[in-house]
Amino acid sequence: MVKVVFFDAAGTLFDTRQPAGSIYAQVARRHGVNVTDQEVNAAFRRVFHAAPGLAFGVGHSPQELRRLEKNWWRRLVEQTFSQLARFDDFDAYFEELFELFAKPETWSPAPDALDVLQALKRRNHISLGIISNFDARVYGILSAYGMLEYLDSVTISSEAGYAKPAPEIFRIALEKHSVAPNEALHVGDSPALDVQGASAVGIGAVLYDPRSQWRSAIPGAIGYVKSLQELLSLVEVTGQR
């Protein structure tokens, strides 16, 4: 029986209202840097996918983690613009950008995310959690959209010390719920981080694919959903395994 359903956060339960690179470019233009959305988007995607996971090992204090999180993003933003432009005051630009991505209005919840969390929570044998390569800003976003109250655990890479697809972050999340891997599902939008990461430790992996980007079978996925609402029937089926 499925006892816990884990969700990825950004890209699954919520996403940016605009591509992240477009937001970077718009704020840059306010700071006097003439760049296009297209060129910043391309640079951001390249740098983001090449970046190390947002994780720093274990044993850090909360205050130190906040500093490490912010420095991780600062390096990523610096690298995004390294071949594009120079700022008169990069510090001012980065501070505005970092705060902007902490604001709920920068993000948009998946259309059925809250309804699905509520429906799953009504099934008394199921608990809910987050497994995400995010930093502490995720708590404010989840809270603003009314999702946090339905979650029994939030496991983020910066606090866990490991980033998906590392098996450790999934095992840490499982331990919070005292469940075996075959009693859990994980839902996320990344074949590499979510599907392969979860399936490698024995968690049932469900690929969230609202734009039908992945038309061929993804190794390790036990199911595909175009909307989170479809997850409800999938949980019923997998709950019998």
**CATH number of the domain where residue 212 is located:** 3.40.50.1000
Which DSSP symbol is given to 105?
G
Tell whether 131 and 221 lie within a shared domain. yes
Half-sphere exposure of 100 (CA within 13 A, CB side): 19
* Distance from C-alpha of 164 to C-alpha of 132, rounded to nearest angstrom: 7
Helices (H), the chain: 20-30, 37-50, 62-81, 90-100, 113-121, 137-144, 157-160, 167-177, 197-200, 230-238
Please list the pLDDT of the chain residue by residue as tens digits (241 residues).
899 999 999 999 999 999 999 999 999 999 999 999 999 999 999 999 999 999 999 999 999 999 999 999 999 999 999 989 899 999 999 999 999 999 999 999 999 999 999 999 998 789 999 999 999 999 999 999 999 999 999 999 999 999 999 999 999 999 999 999 999 999 999 999 999 999 999 999 999 998 888 766 788 888 899 999 999 988 876 654 4
* Distance from C-alpha of 30 to C-alpha of 24, rounded to nearest angstrom: 10
pLDDT computed for residue 241 by the predictor: 40
Tell whether 95 and 127 lie within a shared domain. no
pLDDT computed for residue 169 by the predictor: 98
Tell whether 85 and 191 lie within a shared domain. no
CATH code for the domain of 87: 1.10.150.720
Structural domain total, the chain: 2
Tell whether 78 and 146 lie within a shared domain. no
Tell whether 11 and 111 lie within a shared domain. yes
Q: Which of 57, 92, 90, 60 is nearest to 75 (CA)?
A: 90
Tell whether 155 and 38 lie within a shared domain. no
Tell whether 94 and 111 lie within a shared domain. no
Tell whether 158 and 95 lie within a shared domain. no
Tell whether 74 and 128 lie within a shared domain. no
Mark which of 63, 85, 106 sits at the end of a domain.
106
Cα 171–chain centre separation? 17
Mark which of 106, 138, 165 sits at the end of a domain.
106
Here the tokens at position 54 are 């947002």
Tell whether 35 and 77 lie within a shared domain. yes
Are 208 and 187 within 8 A, CB to CB? yes
Tell whether 79 and 53 lie within a shared domain. yes
pLDDT computed for residue 237 by the predictor: 60
Q: Which of 229, 13, 33, 200 is nearest to 120 (CA)?
A: 229
Tell whether 70 and 131 lie within a shared domain. no
DSSP string, 146-187: T-GGG-SEEEEHHHHS--TT-HHHHHHHHHHHT--GGGEEEE
Residue 212: give the domain boundaries.
Answer: 4-15+107-238
Mark which of 43, 77, 106 sits at the end of a domain.
106
